[in-house]
Amino acid sequence: VIMKEKRKAYEEKLDAQLKEWNAQIALLKAKAENTKADGKIDYYKTIDALQRKHDEAKTKLKELKTAGDEAWEAVKEGAEKVWAEVKTAYHDVASKFK
């Protein structure tokens, strides 16, 4: 029961992080709209790369939620790797908009 509760809490935390990143990506897209035309293309390429990473994280979360108890820890490790990549990608993109 304790493992099940920890698992659920972990998955909820990742769900919340995905929602936050989704909102931040939308904000970045809005900022990109206000950039000059020549820079806009670069911003959108960068945002698209971030969106792909976000989608990869979303897929990993689905895998995590459907993994059996035996496979859950292994899937969790993969999810944490993807999460770290998304976090780094987001910070890289956000720093370009400052």
Q: How confident is the model at residue 4 (pLDDT cuts 50, 70, 90)?
A: confident
What confidence score (pLDDT) does residue 94 get?
80
Alpha carbons 91 and 8: distance in angstroms, whole number:
27
Q: Is the pLDDT of residue 20 over 90?
A: yes
Cα angle 33, 56, 45 (rounded to 5 degrees) comes to 30
Mean pLDDT of the chain: 88
| Structure confidence by residue, pLDDT tens digits, 27-54 | 988 888 888 777 788 888 888 989 999 9
Query: Considering the entire predicted model, what is its pTM?
Result: 0.82
The pLDDT value recorded for residue 62 is: 93
pLDDT number for residue 36: 79
Q: Which residue has the tokens 């459907």?
A: 66
In contact, 83 and 57? CB cutoff 8 Å: yes
